[in-house]
Structure 1
Amino acid sequence: MKLRFTQRVVRSAIAATLLASVAMTTAAHVSAADGDSDQSFFAGRVLHEFGGPSTFYDAAVQSDGKIVTTGKVEIAGVDQILVARFNTDGSLDTTFNLTGWRSIPLGSGDSEGNAVLTQSDGSIFVRAMSDYNTVVPDPYRDALIIKLTSSGAFDTTYAVSSVPPSVTPGVKYLSISRSTISGGPSTMAFDSVGRLVVIGTVRDGSDATSSYVARLLSNGEYDSTFDSDGLREFFTPTETSFSSVAITTGDKIVVGGSRRIGVGSETRGIVAKFNTNGTPDLSFDTDGWVDVSSAQAISAIALQADGKIVVAGITVIGGADTSLALRLNSSGSIDTTFSASGTFVSPASDAAFLGIHIDSSGKIVIFGFASTNPEKADLLAIRLSSNGVLDSTFGNSGISRTPVGFSALAFSGTVQGDGRYILVGQTTGSIESYRAVIVRLDSLGKPDATFLSGGFTQQNSLLNGVYGSRILELADGSFITLGGVSIAAPYMYLVKYRSDGTIDRSFGSDFGVGIGTIGLAAGPVGAASYLLNLESQSSGRILVLAQQPISTGSPVVLGFTNAGILDPTFGVSGTAAFTVDNMIPTKMVVLPDNKILVTASTTTAGESRMYRLNANGTIDSSFGTGGSTLIASPDTSAALVSAMNVSADGKIIVVGELASTSDSRTLISRYSANGTLDTTFGTNGFAFVGPGTSGNYAATVNVLPDGRLLISGQSDFGTSHEIFLTRLSSSGTTDTTFGTNGYIRYAGVGSSVYAVVAVQPDQRILIGYATDQVIINRLNENGSIDSTFGTNGSITRRADSGERNIIDLVRLRNGKIMASWVNYPLVGFKTFDIARIQATTRPIVPLTPARLFDTRDGSGSVAVGKVGDGLGGGIPIEFTVTGQGGVPAAGVGAVSLNVTAVNTEAPNEGGYVTVYPCGTRPNASNLNFTSNQIIPNAVIAPVSANGKVCFYVYGKAHLLADVNGWLPNGAAFTAVSPARLFDTRDGSGSVAVGKVGDGLGGGTPIEFTVTGKGGVPATGVGAVSLNVTAVNTEAPNEGGYVTVYPCGTRPNASNLNFTSNQIIPNAVIAPVSANGKVCFYVYGKAHLLADVNGWYPG
């Protein structure tokens, strides 16, 4: 009775601890839609008050992805220049000035940073204004350039001979020849050789303005090749003001700004172009200057790859302030092909366009703010096509408005290398002081808890006419989706996403029809299908099963490189075609040797065929007859295949429909690896399932690790329809222990609704289907609902309007699941969503305890007699645990055992048992004994590739092994071959030799780093599975104990208890501290041995 009680308690404790370790790693997420704030970036928004009211005016992204900002901070009533640097996750980078930010005071007057640029060596250039040298009050301010090193210090090698002399090394004051008063807020840019071009505005004593352009060498000195002295001031046109600059590929300088009209305050936008020597470019509107009459001022300017100039500006329409964008040809004329009428006018009222960028795909991104009321302004980002049309895939029909709690203004924005957008500005309003704001927008979506909004992202809606989407996860966690689209002509497309849900824009190429999308790959024109398939080979080649032309053509397999380009080494120029017509491809499977199986059906001839290609796309003539096999029918019914899968032994299972003039039946048959019908399966090679009274067909088949088949399909009952899920044995008989009489049934669905199915490593089943909403249920192995998933075992995603049709459901390497579904709105184009959903695999699947073997009576087919020879030379028991006691025949990473040594015989130094996955025996123990004992212990035992576990005895003992659970491959727990971490008897593991503890409770615990040892990774570990043994124990009257804990505060708990003169082992799941440590405390005294056999992620 005592042994049984111990077994139950230990097993329950292990299971509870395993489940708790998974719970500790589960994180909550928040969602964000495409173009909305990227919630992984500190919820997309970062607000800072750097010791006083603060503002950001500009941002730049370094080559390492870190974000540098500049602006101002008020300290002791004086504005100082503010420079801050953020890590890619939005936290302050403390390698910059130790705190992540610095203020730069310049005398007693106000100062502020207006623009910032970075260089590849980490140098930071800040364009600033200061009252320091001015002889008259604000707004007459000095213009200066500050160069900082990557650590945030002044670069003392910069502008060392500045005129006027720089008070602070690393600061360049710009001198204007006609006045000591210089500068105003403007901007700067580097040309192709690293020279810095700076523009600005000069005011004289009568408040008249002129403008200047300066060019500085890399050392901060004026470039004398530019207008002879490095600076040119412009007095005409009358009272000009420069506010933005861009550099052409030939290093010509393009500036935007405004000029005063007449004697009043009215202004007009201007654009000017200058040669590299500072003279006006006379090829630009004959004099180098262009009036933009539709704008009051040009606030931002950017150049397209073809040399055209895109400008954003401020205007008044109908008495209301708003903003516009337009494009000039390289000659300076207005480009009337831009937008609908040559000018794009902001749809947002009271919008201010303050920044403009061209992203890597050629799209135009405008930054600024939009005010909804005097007390509320939103950060604004607008994305246009390269030709000025709103990009409906971004935000809400091309516009993203981001509220930041209170009213907020964005003064600038920039584009990250990964396609995401940074906006910077400040909060406004009467309820708080100004705070600097930095917001990151994701151009494509970021679900997972936030994998976009609610964990989903919608595919680019420019891809109209979507037929459906398949999902393929790649080895690095990125994934590819596959669908069909009609632009000019039908063809298929691929989209590659990073694991965070952002599109990988290095993948694929432009469609060639003007949408300029990077991250998409397209097949040949006309290659599409209503039933697309997507797989990959071990080389990284991506395979697409399609039909060319759609509906009437032959099946084709398209081979793409991992960069998204048709692979010329596959088939013929990337296409492997089958010489048949009017066959609809239905399924593709890549075999372990990278050969390719394909099934296809035709309704006209009423037949299906199976083909096999070599890995390079050529027909494998060794398969079937000349590379193909006709799918057999048990009678004269037409055999129409809808799905296929392959078991671990290479046998091929095809499922579908046996169509006849009367009621259809399910087609389920099995073929040998060479393409011949396997008549040992079912009845002469066929099995029949389905509860329907007027027809059944099978839609999907999953092969479980032990060879059983999980099949979904649809059944007809006159005018009503059901989805069914059933399980067959590996021989093709219905498993009546599954569900109710072998079936799970979902009634009330339409005739076109079918299910998609995925199986977790712990054999829980995910099944999805859709009507006006997507429904995904999780079932236990026996078909009962798993109430731990979603709400009572189910999650739903309802369509905004119309219906949805689920297309794919896959399990990802990280244990989550990804689903895709098509939206059929009542109005508009079809689109499809991709969702990523938490779906934790149980680290341990509990079983009713079952005896595996007992050497006392030979049960379990082991030899009768003690194991071991009295010392260390005995032969271990080699036992196959898979397929025994409820453990599956495959897919098992480890088993949870209770191992008992009975009638032990130990040498003087004591005996022990080691349980390991056969192969090389480790120097570790799972239980220790002296003579004449009965000693049990809980053991997590890794399983060898062929399902075996070995049991070694040092000494002699009868062994009993009971299994009470198993751990799936790919679960949260990673088993490792048992390894000794330390032993205080000999100091192994670099611990002190000697017993731990002082006899009572005052001893010092062992503090041991477990990460990076014994197969445990150096990082990413949340807990370790240990076997801890106390040897030669000394206990006070009340008994002694050992506590294993993640250092820090020791809990009031014990992991094993002892009296004096014992050898006591126990299994322990030990959480690991942030620095990888576990502590071992002894109340009493004892030698300690610790062996590791697995770990859990943190």
Structure 2
Amino acid sequence: MAYASSAVQAGTLDPTFAEGGVLTLPTRELGGYRTLAMLPLAENKLLITVLLPEKPGAFGLSKVNEDGSIDREFGGAGTGVVEFSKENTYVDEIVDICGLSDGGWLVMGGYASFGDSGIYVVRFLEDGRLNTLFGEDGVRWLPFRLEPKSGGMEDGPLTFSWRDREPSAQAPRSSGNNGSSAVEQPDGKIILRNVVNSGSDDLSHWVVLRLNPDGSTDETFNETGSVVIEFPGVPRVATSVKGVALQSDGKVLVFGDFFQNTLASSIYVARLDATGRFDTSFNGGVGVVTVPNLHYANANAMALRESDDAIVVAGDCWPNPDQGFDRHGLMFVLSRDGFFDFAFNSGQPLFSKLVDKGHDWYRCAWQADGSIVVAGTTGRGGVETGVLALTARLRSDGSLDPTFNGSGFVRFNEEGYEATVEDMGLMPDGRIVVGGFTRRPGAVYWGRTFGSWFIRYLA
């Protein structure tokens, strides 16, 4: 149920979507029990990814109509599901969806097969068919090992693996420029983030890389195809890259977090120029913005404001261990060139604890009027009962917007069961869609059954 004071105001469930604003999986048409990423489409449709329990090692894509029904015509088979699988390979880890300028999209995730593992990047056309001009029949396989460089050179560019699996990462991933795992440039090239094994020291490093439109590695990017994200005085093996975004001038924003020591951590935002080199003009010549001396901090999402490339970063932390173990949502806003925005919370990071036991912020998005929508999950971040999905809207100064559900935030727990947020996005008309995962009492999977839900809020 959702806690709302009115059936018509912003922040309340949209009664025109599914059953009173809530779509739950599985449905009669769609048997997938879990979704990890979604992408708002034109005509206020929604693309969703689902794992297929009847076909282990495969995933499916479906379209949801504006009214919450499954688009049975999608894919042309009459089922409404486009399936993807590879023989003798598990491709059921879905990490991200990235919309493309041709109307299609990329789906990213992890794969594993006998003696090999890494990530896959699958390129689909708008009608759900594979774009066979991309990679190997529509797929770029990026194994966790070195590959020969084109031209017969002995050592090649780094290859990639989803070594540090995240609860759902990062994007949303659901729109093309919101701190996702991948983003398309205007020329069709694709910026990705991932983990590599350098081969020389056998250590894993977080990198940003660029692919050509056909899926081949763009070796003009940093002259190697990739750039390791590291900063002076910070061990590079401790640095994570949570997402990338593309500014209007072609520069690439990178954000993530790293540990300074066993307790203190920092969140960072850095910028690369169009050639893949670190942009030292960011933050007045420093080249990186950090929020240091946090306690177990996570940078989970980033979004750019279309009008001026202003940056919002959302995450969570435990501000002070002496104050208990409740998580606080964390947000801050930067100008396009890396200066803290004094119009937002007087230029300081904003720590939020809107409910008992705390919460995180897992996704964020700018609305057209400059408001910021965030979504996350309540609780302390561990395995616990009673967790809820939490969605809030803040004004441009960082204060809660009381016109949103009468309080600035709204909670949701599907039919009283536990509900955790996996993704969020804004529909073309501004309505807010949040997707998540449900654990219900039952006798399957460690005493529980699983499902997914989507809710749409009025904006």
Please give the TM-score of this superposition, normalised by the length of structure 2: 0.66
| Residues 716 and 749 (structure 1), Cα distance of their counterparts in 2 relative to 1, 3 Å cut | farther
Distance apart, 1:454 and its partner CA: 4.3
Larger Rg: 1
Paired with 1:608 and 1:758, the residues of 2 have a C-alpha distance of 23
Aligned to 1:536: 184
Distance apart, 1:739 and its partner CA: 1.5
Aligned to 2:331: 668
Select the residue among 637, 640, 646 that pairs with 2:298: 640
Paired with 1:725 and 1:644, the residues of 2 have a C-alpha distance of 16
* 2:285 counterpart of 1:618: no
SS at match of 2:298: strand
The amino acid across from 1:768 in the alignment is G
Distance apart, 1:643 and its partner CA: 0.8
Paired with 1:702 and 1:503, the residues of 2 have a C-alpha distance of 29
Aligned to 2:216: 565
SS at match of 1:547: strand
Q: Tell me if structure 1 keeps the 8 A contact 2:327–2:379.
A: no
Aligned to 1:652: 311
Q: Tell me if structure 2 keeps the 8 A contact 1:758–1:767.
A: yes
Q: Tell me if structure 2 keeps the 8 A contact 1:554–1:577.
A: yes
Paired with 2:213 and 2:131, the residues of 1 have a C-alpha distance of 12
Paired with 1:560 and 1:735, the residues of 2 have a C-alpha distance of 41
| Residues 723 and 674 (structure 1), Cα distance of their counterparts in 2 relative to 1, 3 Å cut | same
Stretch moving more, 734-743 or 710-719: 710-719
| Residues 558 and 706 (structure 1), Cα distance of their counterparts in 2 relative to 1, 3 Å cut | same
Aligned to 1:575: 226
Paired with 1:459 and 1:690, the residues of 2 have a C-alpha distance of 41
Distance apart, 1:716 and its partner CA: 1.8
Q: Tell me if structure 2 keeps the 8 A contact 1:658–1:665.
A: yes
Aligned to 1:746: 412
| Residues 470 and 445 (structure 1), Cα distance of their counterparts in 2 relative to 1, 3 Å cut | closer
Q: How does 1:581-600 map to 2 (within 5 A)?
A: 581-600=237-256
Q: Tell me if structure 2 keeps the 8 A contact 1:658–1:667.
A: yes
The amino acid across from 1:722 in the alignment is L
Aligned to 2:129: 502
| Residues 461 and 450 (structure 1), Cα distance of their counterparts in 2 relative to 1, 3 Å cut | farther
| Residues 541 and 749 (structure 1), Cα distance of their counterparts in 2 relative to 1, 3 Å cut | farther
Aligned to 2:394: 728
Paired with 1:702 and 1:686, the residues of 2 have a C-alpha distance of 17
Q: Tell me if structure 2 keeps the 8 A contact 1:690–1:696.
A: yes
Paired with 2:108 and 2:79, the residues of 1 have a C-alpha distance of 22
Q: How does 1:990-1001 map to 2 (within 5 A)?
A: none
* 2:82 counterpart of 1:457: yes
Aligned to 1:909: none
Paired with 1:618 and 1:759, the residues of 2 have a C-alpha distance of 32
Select the residue among 344, 361, 372 that pairs with 1:698: 361
Q: Tell me if structure 1 keeps the 8 A contact 2:120–2:139.
A: yes
Stretch moving more, 548-557 or 606-615: 548-557
Distance apart, 1:519 and its partner CA: 1.4
Aligned to 1:479: 105
Paired with 1:32 and 1:657, the residues of 2 have a C-alpha distance of 34
Paired with 1:446 and 1:703, the residues of 2 have a C-alpha distance of 26
Select the residue among 283, 288, 296 that pairs with 1:628: 288
Q: What per-residue deviation string (whole Å, max 9, x for no partner) do you get for residues 164-204 of structure 1?
A: xxxxxxxxxxxxxxxxxxxxxxxxxxxxxxxxxxxxxxxxx
Paired with 1:458 and 1:602, the residues of 2 have a C-alpha distance of 37
Q: What per-residue deviation string (whole Å, max 9, x for no partner) do you get for residues 743-766 of structure 1?
A: 120135658x32411112322111
Paired with 2:455 and 2:101, the residues of 1 have a C-alpha distance of 27
Distance apart, 1:492 and its partner CA: 1.5
Select the residue among 473, 477, 491 that pairs with 2:118: 491
Distance apart, 1:688 and its partner CA: 3.4
Paired with 1:609 and 1:593, the residues of 2 have a C-alpha distance of 21
Aligned to 1:895: none
Aligned to 1:1001: none
The amino acid across from 1:544 in the alignment is L
Q: Tell me if structure 1 keeps the 8 A contact 2:116–2:143.
A: no
* 2:96 counterpart of 1:470: yes
Q: What per-residue deviation string (whole Å, max 9, x for no partner) do you get for residues 234-282 of structure 1?
A: xxxxxxxxxxxxxxxxxxxxxxxxxxxxxxxxxxxxxxxxxxxxxxxxx
SS at match of 1:631: strand
Q: Tell me if structure 2 keeps the 8 A contact 1:655–1:698.
A: yes
Select the residue among 179, 194, 197 that pairs with 1:546: 194
Select the residue among 251, 254, 257 that pairs with 1:601: 257
The amino acid across from 2:120 in the alignment is Y
| Residues 552 and 677 (structure 1), Cα distance of their counterparts in 2 relative to 1, 3 Å cut | farther
* 2:375 counterpart of 1:712: yes
Kindly report the root-mean-square deviation, in angstroms, between the aligned alpha carbons of the 2 structures. 3.1
Structure 1 or 2: more strand by fraction: 1
Paired with 2:429 and 2:359, the residues of 1 have a C-alpha distance of 29
Higher relative contact order (CA 8 A, sep 6+): 2
Q: What per-residue deviation string (whole Å, max 9, x for no partner) do you get for residues 284-337 of structure 1?
A: xxxxxxxxxxxxxxxxxxxxxxxxxxxxxxxxxxxxxxxxxxxxxxxxxxxxxx
Select the residue among 743, 766, 769 that pairs with 2:436: 769
Q: Tell me if structure 2 keeps the 8 A contact 1:478–1:497.
A: yes
Distance apart, 1:568 and its partner CA: 1.1
| Residues 31 and 694 (structure 1), Cα distance of their counterparts in 2 relative to 1, 3 Å cut | closer
Select the residue among 203, 207, 216 that pairs with 1:556: 207
Distance apart, 1:776 and its partner CA: 1.2
Distance apart, 1:733 and its partner CA: 0.7
SS at match of 1:571: helix
SS at match of 1:523: strand
Paired with 2:220 and 2:90, the residues of 1 have a C-alpha distance of 31
Identity rate, percent: 23
Q: Tell me if structure 2 keeps the 8 A contact 1:552–1:582.
A: no
| Residues 749 and 666 (structure 1), Cα distance of their counterparts in 2 relative to 1, 3 Å cut | farther
Paired with 2:454 and 2:29, the residues of 1 have a C-alpha distance of 19
Distance apart, 1:549 and its partner CA: 4.2
* 2:345 counterpart of 1:689: no
Paired with 2:30 and 2:297, the residues of 1 have a C-alpha distance of 46
SS at match of 2:274: coil
Q: How does 1:1047-1066 map to 2 (within 5 A)?
A: none
| Residues 666 and 396 (structure 1), Cα distance of their counterparts in 2 relative to 1, 3 Å cut | closer
| Residues 456 and 774 (structure 1), Cα distance of their counterparts in 2 relative to 1, 3 Å cut | farther
Q: What per-residue deviation string (whole Å, max 9, x for no partner) do you get for residues 842-885 of structure 1?
A: xxxxxxxxxxxxxxxxxxxxxxxxxxxxxxxxxxxxxxxxxxxx
| Residues 696 and 445 (structure 1), Cα distance of their counterparts in 2 relative to 1, 3 Å cut | closer
SS at match of 2:421: coil
* 2:395 counterpart of 1:737: no
Distance apart, 1:736 and its partner CA: 1.1
* 2:404 counterpart of 1:779: no
Q: Tell me if structure 2 keeps the 8 A contact 1:589–1:645.
A: yes
Aligned to 2:5: none
Paired with 2:387 and 2:203, the residues of 1 have a C-alpha distance of 30
Paired with 1:754 and 1:616, the residues of 2 have a C-alpha distance of 35
Paired with 1:609 and 1:445, the residues of 2 have a C-alpha distance of 33
Structure 2: which 5+ residue stretches go unaligned?
Answer: 1-27, 32-51, 64-70, 146-159, 171-180, 231-235, 439-449
